[in-house]
Amino acid sequence: MERQPQEVDILIIGAGTAGLTAAMYGARGGNSVIVLESNVHGGQIINTWEVENYPSIAKISGVELATNMYEQAVSHGAEVRYEQIEGHDFSGPIKTVYTAQTEYRAKAVILANGVISRKLDIPGEQKYTGHGVSYCATCDGNFYKNKVTAVIGGGNTALEDALFLSNQCQKVYILHRRDTFRGEQHNVNAVKKRANIEILYNTIPLEIQGQDKVSALRCQNVVTQEQQTLAVDGVFVAVGRIPQNTPFANSIQLDESGFVLAGEDTKTSVPGVFAAGDTRQKQVRQLVTAAADGAVAAVMAGSYIAAELA
């Protein structure tokens, strides 16, 4: 089937928090805006049962927040299309993105395609996601005050998550498959000083158990092969995030982990291509920082169009 050409001012890839915010700001700035999403709008936040850390909103479900963002972007004139990207060409002043149906020709592109959390792939993980299994301690840790939690991982994220949770939880386990941590030494030292953090070295999770929500974590020592079941209220998975940038590796500069190299101005190595949200290299990945990135990217894209392509 021949692709239909479609011209647009700003083409946004990804309809998560960053992408939908960029769509709203871009459309309000007088640009035509199309958002391409391969799955469902909202991004990872739709898997969060409750959101309590978004400014001005005391409590809201992830699905409701995503729906509100979508409706707000569309009400300002942005269009969201559910199409899978099959190719692109960022080499010229007009950027081209191909889907099965359409050849999009954009004056500016915003990459807001996000990341996926690396999974444990053990029984119970998918079942209890949003009901005791979380991939973001700063997002969900507040729900576990005076409770017992477990953090899976051995890098800086896992160590920082454990420290964060230890300020609220009665007890925090850290399960690490090796006998030494991969994180920075100051984080390791801080974890070891916390009385309510217990480290289980050489230990892997086998199964997350519960009924309506998480109640236990079965694990195994890889050296002794001994198994034990920990009574926990929550499991925080911190074994890495996977950026969805492989298709763009030959077009824009990525760091060694695959995140887009773009600063706070969201500019990538290619003029006219911007990166917003979790997809770019950054220290803090939260809803509010994704929204901020989206706003910046849209403004920068509009300025680029006005200055470079007038």
Identity of the amino acid at 96 = T
**Tokens matching residue 49:** 């049962």
Q: Exactly one of 9, 136, 169, 293 is catalytic; which is it?
A: 136
Q: Clarify whether 219 is annotated catalytic.
A: no
* Helical H segments across the chain, by residue range: 17-28, 62-75, 137-140, 156-166, 185-193, 287-308
Identify whether 169 is a catalytic site residue. no
Q: How far is CA 145 from the centre of its chain?
A: 24
210 neighbors 132 (Cβ within 8 angstroms) = yes
How far apart (Å, rounded) are the C-alpha atoms in residues 12 and 113? 9
DSSP code string of 175-244: E-SSSS-SS-HHHHHHHHH-TTEEEETTEEEEEEEESSSEEEEEEEETTT--EEEEE-SEEEE-S-EEES
For residues 165 and 181, give the distance between their C-alpha atoms in angstroms, rounded to a whole number: 18
Looking at 140, 233, 278, 293, which residue is catalytic? 140
Instruction: Determine contact, residues 113/244, Cβ cutoff 8 Å.
Output: yes
Single out the catalytic residue among 139, 161, 233, 278: 139
Catalytic residues: 136, 139-140
